[in-house]
Structures are given as C-alpha cells and as structure tokens.
Structure 1
Amino acid sequence: MSLRRTLVRTTLALAILGAAIGAALAVFLVRGSGKLVVLPVPTGSYAVGRVSYDWVDESRQEVFAPKQGEKGSGAKHKKRELMVWFWYPATPDSGAKPGAYLPGKWGRAIERDRGPFLWQRLDWVQVHAIPDAPVSAAQPGYPVLIFSTGYGRVPTDYTVLAEDLASHGYVVVGIANTYSAPVVAFPDGRVVSRVREAALPEGSRPAEKTAADRLVMVWAEDVIFVIDQLDRLSTDASGGFFGRLDVTRLGVFGHSFGGAAAVEACSRDSRCKAAVDIGGALFGDVPRVGLKQPCMFVLGERATPPRIVFLTHRFSRREAEEELAREIRDMDSASRAALAAYKVSVHGARHFNFSDSAVLFSPIMKAGGTLGSIEGARGLRITSDYVRAFFDKYLNNADSPLLDGAPSEYPEVSFESRAGPTGVSPETGK
C-alpha cells in the first residue's frame, strides 16, 4: 500500500468528517478560519495576472463521467473537458485589484466539499494576481510551465508557488483534472464533483497498482492536451496570449500524484524540455522506461511518516520505511537515463508544505502531521527558488548557484545531483 496515496486519501476523509462536526467547533475555529490571510508577496519584478479557460479535448472520450442524475454528473460533453488556470507576467491597468482566491462557484463548492470550519475561509485569503490583466509586453515571449496538482486539489491550492514563478517571467498553467479534483466549476454554471471511478486507488495489490497506473496516464494525457492547446493559443491573433507563449521553452511540474503525471507526460512528449516532481511517488511507465529530459525531485522530510498514517491505518514503522525506500528507488530508476537529475530534500517539510496549506488556517493538517515544522512561507520560498533555478537552467540557459551544490542560504536543504545518462555520483563526489 502506498503511504503517499494513504496520506492523501486519509486527509480527504478527515476533511469530510470536518464538515460534519464543524458546527460543534465553530465558536473556536471560525476565528482562525475567518482571519484575513495575505499570501506571501511574489519575489519577482513582474506583476501577475490570472485567467482561466474551459477546453474540450475532442480526441478523447470522457471515461469517468457518471450517468446523468448520478452524483458528480454535470458533464456537457462526452469528450474530456478541463478547466485550466493561467498565472502570467502582466501589466495591470491603473487601479486594478487582485481577484478572489477562488471566485464564484469555485469557492462555494470547495468550501462545501471541505467543510466550513476546519479549513481556511477562502473569502478571507488575499492573493496578488489581477484577473484578466493584459500580458506584459516586456518580453517577446515567455517560457511556459504546466502544473499538475495533487489528487483532491485544484490549481489555486498552489497560488503562492504559481504567483511567485509568474512574477519571475514564467507563464504557469495549472490543470483541474475533472472528476479527480474535488470540484470543477465551468463558466456556464455547471459544477462537477469527484467520482469514485477517477479516485486515486489505495493499496498495493496488482489491480490497485494497475488502476493507479491507468489514472496517471489520463492525467499525463491531460498535460499533453494542454501542450497542444498552448500551441493554438499562442497563434490565435484574437487572444491575449498571441505571440507571448514560447512553447519551445516548456517545462512540466506537479505535486504528489500530479508530480507523477508531470514526469510521465514529459517522458511521452519531447516538447517538454524538463520536469519537476514535488513529493510524488511514481506510477505509470516512467519507472521502467525512464526519462531522458532533465528532472528534479523535491522531497519533504521522509525519515518519519506523518502520525496520521499510523493512527488511521495498520502500518508499522518498518513497512513505512520500506515503502519510502521503494519510492526513492523508483525515482533513481526513472532518472537514470536523464540528461541531468537532482534531488532536493527540505528538512522540516511534510507532504502539504508544498501547497498553500502551509500558510493557511488548516488545523486538521497540523494535527495529523501532514504539515511539518518548517515555517510555512519559508518552505514555499525554498520550493519556488529551487524549482525556478532548475527551469532557469534548462529553459532559459541561466545557471544558478543553487544547482551547483555549494552551501546556500537554505540550511534546511539537502542537495544531490547526477550528470549524464549514466548517473554519476552525488554532488558530494563520493
């Protein structure tokens, strides 16, 4: 059984429980969940814009859509339909103000799904991105990073990371995986919920492993479809991104199960020039066939699994350690043929420190041990800096001392690198 899958599924289950018991805790918890939270200020020189698109992949049937009238139904198309969020360098109009963390039906549906008291009230979260702001003309074209979320998450759950990368000149494109995301709200008013058929399977039996491999392939195909759409968007003279997307400089990254999907997609599509997996165990073909493009694995603290795992499942510490060791072996196997490979381990970070949960009111995660001891904003800053250094090197041909293995300003980080397809020794030189 995969610890990472168990952790994600357990956290989602506790969120549902939180919705049921939240009213009893309202007096205490509303004060925290209703407190204004200003997300960390992006560190780059660009203002940030945000926009979303509703795209239909006419080449693929929607395999997860429930029948009309069943829970989660609401599909308008029999083809695969996705909502995609963009964060990008922008030149806002004078007086333009940031938008909502999750606007309209998105926010209301997510809060119903997660519960009103054990999670941050989203209308009390202040972002920095300006809705529909014009794309900055400071550069003729910007490199593109496609982001695949963790299971049970939506792109805005990673706003801190997306805004920071966009402020440094990247167009960040986040995918809401329909029927796997908790909710997806379409512009015409439809709200689609997650369904069991598109859930992340839990267990280590062959059938469950096969189901997880099948799901990661769907997510990887979502990424590849988005790459196709970016080509079209960049050449659409009537659109705001006309000529602004440099799809020759394209990378893919993701968190948790989305990290696995990012690496799988990159292994299947040469238009992806580099890939980053943040805290994601690998599925699909990539552990076996490998990845040729440069890759980076960003890991949290792995020595002791979160206590929530031991409280809710019959894991021994030994079994947990063996599972984590297998995940590392898969990463080593997948990256053996890569042009270059990196491992960045952030001490004090747990699985959800790589999302906005690190800086939002989320006592259920703190109690369960899925957030680590590192200060939330600092952990996200470290993650963004290393992800950006990696993509700067392989998309912009700009070296960074963070990738040289020299001592950095982040003593929490353990760093290893491999050069060339043979996988030479770590940066220590041993």
Structure 2
Amino acid sequence: MMTLRHGGRAVAVLLALAAALAPGGAVAAGAPATPALTLPAPTGPHPVGTTWLHLTDHDRPDPWAPEQSRELMVSMWYPAAAPVGAPAPYTTAAVSARVVAGTGLPLPPDVLTTVRTHARRDAPVRPNRHGWPLVLLSPGFSLSRESLTGLAEDLASRGYVVAGIDHPYEAYGVEFPDGRVVDCRACDEWGDGTAQKVIAGRTADVSFLLDRLTGPRPVWRGFVDRQRVAMVGHSIGGASAVRTLVTDARVDAAADLDGTLFTPVGPTVRPVMLVGAERPQDHSWVRDWPDLGGWKRWLTVTGSGHMSFTDRPVLGAQLGQDPGAIPAERQMLITREYVAAFVDRHLRARPAPLLDGPDPAYPEVTFR
C-alpha cells in the first residue's frame, strides 16, 4: 500500500480511490458507503466468535491523558461452539469516520462499517479442556485494532483465542461503550522519544491485559491457557511485541511484522520472528539480531509493502486500488500462513516446515 510520510513517521493510506464507490469516480457528500467490502474467509476448522472488552487500569494514569486512568478496548476472537448470532461489525461508524478523515481520502465516512467479517458477535466459546492458547495483537501507529481482523479471524478458526488491543490516543479513533471517542494525541506529538513512549505504554497495556486474562480472577476463566501466550504486532506494534517478550515472562514468543525496533531488545533466548517488507534492511534489526540468542527467523516478503501485513491491501483492492506486485489476497495469505506456523510451533510444539527454509509454494518469502 502507498504511504505518506509526515515528520519522519509513516502514516498509512488505508483505502483506495473513491472511483469504485460511485459512477464517474465521484462520491457525493454524505453519501452512504457501498456495502461491497469483505475479508477472506478464515481457513481453520472452527467457526469464529468475537466480543469486545472495555478494561480500566485504575493503578496507571494514561500516558497521553494523565488526568485519567488508562482504559483499553480489546476485541476477543475465539473458536466458537457454533456459528450462531449476527455477523460482527468490523468497526464503529465513529472510528471509520476518523480513519477516513485521517487519511484525507474522498471516501464516505462510514465506509469501514460495510466490511463483512466472518466472526459472529458474542457466539458461545467452544470448550477446551486446558483452555486455548492466546495470541495478543498490537496494531501499527495510528491504526486501530480492526486493521488486523483478517489475521485474527484466521488464528481463531485454527484454535487460538486472539486479543486485539486498541491503544487509546495512538490511533485515529478509539470508541468506548459509552460513546466517547478519543483521537490520536500521539500523532500530533510525534518527535524525539515518542516511539519509545509508545512502546513503553504498549508493553504496560499488554501486561495489564494479561493480568486480566490470566491472573487470579481472569475475565475469561477456563478459556485461555496462561501457559501458552504469544504476541504479534504490526509496525510499532511489532516493536512492542518484541519488547514485551523481554519485559513480561508470560509471553513465550513474539513476531514483529515490519516494525522498526526503536527500543533495543537486549539479550533474549525466547523465540522471535521478524517479517519485513521488501526494502533496504532495517538498521535496528541488524543491530539487535545478534542479541536474539534463541530460535529466530528473519523473513523478507519480496514485492510487499509496509501495509501488506494488515487488512488494507484486501480492502483497497476492492475499492479499485492496485495492490502492487503481490495480489491483495495473497498478501493476507502469506501473513496468515507464516504467523500461524510460528504460533503453532512455539505454543503447540507442532512441526512447522514452512519456517525451516524457503518453500516453493511461497517464492516471495526469503530467509536471512
């Protein structure tokens, strides 16, 4: 996907030209979005359910709004007992409007509410004797948790509980159940030290969420296996995943999807996978590679871009945008397959030959 750069940070252009939405390439002011967007179906054997959690850490002030406690919105995707209930919304109208405004594209503000998902809202969780392994997802800077829905639904269909985390004030918009919407204060404050502040805050967010999911009085008692936890993130969410691996012993493995490691990792022997878009080597990955002393992989996806690891290429292609050298759905397929292989190997001790070296089925993926 195309990116615009402002003040040294990449701001993703999330969707495409409006020509696909209206005859003649114009979108009338206030026109409703065309309900024509959809994500690829999950590939696993389980139907998928989802629910949203609103959590408050009363012991920690918000790093961007210190006058209040830190609040999180979390989407939980999971194997469902049955495909019952209404299809889950992709996001809210308020968040969609802020994403569209943030990109500056001439799209209907509610366009993201038209995305068809494959999860059923509040479907009952499928029982599992020891609980399901947990995968935490952290989105890129300025993005919201819905940007990784395609990956989350697929992991849930394969037998994982997936927690997608919104980090308030670091996304174009985060909406709470009472209708409050907070905007991206961090976007306006970007400068020296902002990335480190974002990563520190996200590691604290994840540790708090793990307290609530796996602690003495978990909100998801019986459904999450506290002994099997991985974190995956995109962009600065990927940097936060690797950092959390070092700072929180409950995280067993971390995957970074095209995220610069603004904070040096330091020595670790737990599994790390770095997956990068095609571009010059990230200097931070080169710097920290020797400190990754356990199982590790550095993969490059030839023909990909920074947003290739999110939903955006798929949605953009449906709106008429050229996805680049790799077809949009194949970009998502590559992300799904390699992330699933990573968590299968390290949370379930399953063979993952896809991670042992180049595979002729995925010639785009090269190994360092």
Tell me what 1:283 maps to.
262
- The answer for unaligned runs of 5 or more in structure 2 is none
Tell me what 2:353 maps to.
401
Please give the alpha-carbon distance, in whole angstroms, between the structure 2 residues aligned to 1:35 and 1:340.
44
Count residues with an aligned counterpart: 360
* Inter-CA distance 44–59: structure 2 relative to 1 (3 Å threshold): same
Is the aligned partner of 1:230 residue 2:213? yes
Please give the alpha-carbon distance, in whole angstroms, between the structure 2 residues aligned to 1:6 and 1:198.
10
Please give the alpha-carbon distance, in whole angstroms, between the structure 2 residues aligned to 1:4 and 1:387.
27
* Inter-CA distance 328–372: structure 2 relative to 1 (3 Å threshold): farther
* Inter-CA distance 199–150: structure 2 relative to 1 (3 Å threshold): farther
> Is the CA contact (8 Å cut-off) linking 2:260 and 2:282 kept in structure 1?
no
* Inter-CA distance 15–255: structure 2 relative to 1 (3 Å threshold): closer
* Inter-CA distance 15–296: structure 2 relative to 1 (3 Å threshold): closer
Tell me what 1:58 maps to.
58
Is the aligned partner of 1:361 residue 2:316? yes
Is the aligned partner of 1:328 residue 2:281? no
Tell me what 2:306 maps to.
351
Q: In the alignment, which of 387, 392, 396 is matched to residue 344 of structure 2?
A: 392
Please give the alpha-carbon distance, in whole angstroms, between the structure 1 residues aligned to 2:295 and 2:59.
34
Please give the alpha-carbon distance, in whole angstroms, between the structure 1 residues aligned to 2:186 and 2:201.
15
> Is the CA contact (8 Å cut-off) linking 1:99 and 1:131 kept in structure 2?
yes
Letter of the 2:70 partner, please give it. Answer: R
Please give the alpha-carbon distance, in whole angstroms, between the structure 2 residues aligned to 1:331 and 1:6.
26
Please give the alpha-carbon distance, in whole angstroms, between the structure 1 residues aligned to 2:156 and 2:112.
22
Per-residue CA shift, 1:233-284, capped at 9, x if unaligned?
x845xx6x32010011001110001100111111111111000000000022
How much has 1:161 moved relative to structure 2?
0.6
* Inter-CA distance 5–52: structure 2 relative to 1 (3 Å threshold): farther
Please give the alpha-carbon distance, in whole angstroms, between the structure 2 residues aligned to 1:196 and 1:235.
33
Tell me what 1:342 maps to.
297
How much has 1:391 moved relative to structure 2?
1.0
1:25-424 matched pairs, under 5 angstroms: 27-28=24-25, 30=27, 34=34, 36-65=36-65, 78-92=68-82, 94=84, 96-114=85-103, 117-118=106-107, 121-196=111-186, 199-201=189-191, 208=192, 210-232=193-215, 235-236=217-218, 241-286=220-265, 289-302=266-279, 321=280, 324-335=281-292, 337=293, 339-361=294-316, 372-405=324-357, 407-416=359-368
Please give the alpha-carbon distance, in whole angstroms, between the structure 1 residues aligned to 2:101 and 2:230.
34
Per-residue CA shift, 1:185-217, capped at 9, x if unaligned?
00111111111477543xxxxxx1x33223211
Residue 40 of structure 1 aligns to a residue whose secondary structure is: coil
Please give the alpha-carbon distance, in whole angstroms, between the structure 2 residues aligned to 1:164 and 1:175.
17
Please give the alpha-carbon distance, in whole angstroms, between the structure 2 residues aligned to 1:262 and 1:106.
24
Per-residue CA shift, 1:94-122, capped at 9, x if unaligned?
4x231221135434444444456348921
Per-residue CA shift, 1:150-195, capped at 9, x if unaligned?
0010111111111111110111111111111111100111111111
* Identity of matched residues, %: 34
Residue 156 of structure 1 aligns to a residue whose secondary structure is: helix
* Inter-CA distance 93–296: structure 2 relative to 1 (3 Å threshold): closer
How much has 1:34 moved relative to structure 2?
2.8
The TM-score with structure 1 as length reference comes to 0.75
Per-residue CA shift, 1:17-75, capped at 9, x if unaligned?
x99x99xx9951549x7361221010000111111111111221123118xxxxxxxxx
Root-mean-square deviation (CA, aligned residues, Å) is 3.3
Letter of the 2:51 partner, please give it. Answer: V
How much has 1:221 moved relative to structure 2?
1.3
How much has 1:4 moved relative to structure 2?
10
How much has 1:333 moved relative to structure 2?
3.7
How much has 1:409 moved relative to structure 2?
1.3
Per-residue CA shift, 1:310-337, capped at 9, x if unaligned?
xxxxxxxxxxx5xx451331341442x2
Letter of the 2:231 partner, please give it. Answer: V
Letter of the 1:258 partner, please give it. Answer: G
Please give the alpha-carbon distance, in whole angstroms, between the structure 1 residues aligned to 2:144 and 2:336.
18
* Inter-CA distance 267–275: structure 2 relative to 1 (3 Å threshold): same
Letter of the 2:205 partner, please give it. Answer: D
Letter of the 2:367 partner, please give it. Answer: F
Residue 147 of structure 2 aligns to a residue whose secondary structure is: helix
Please give the alpha-carbon distance, in whole angstroms, between the structure 1 residues aligned to 2:92 and 2:104.
17
- The answer for unaligned runs of 5 or more in structure 1 is 67-76, 202-207, 303-320, 417-430
Please give the alpha-carbon distance, in whole angstroms, between the structure 2 residues aligned to 1:220 and 1:79.
16
Please give the alpha-carbon distance, in whole angstroms, between the structure 2 residues aligned to 1:126 and 1:358.
15
Letter of the 1:405 partner, please give it. Answer: G
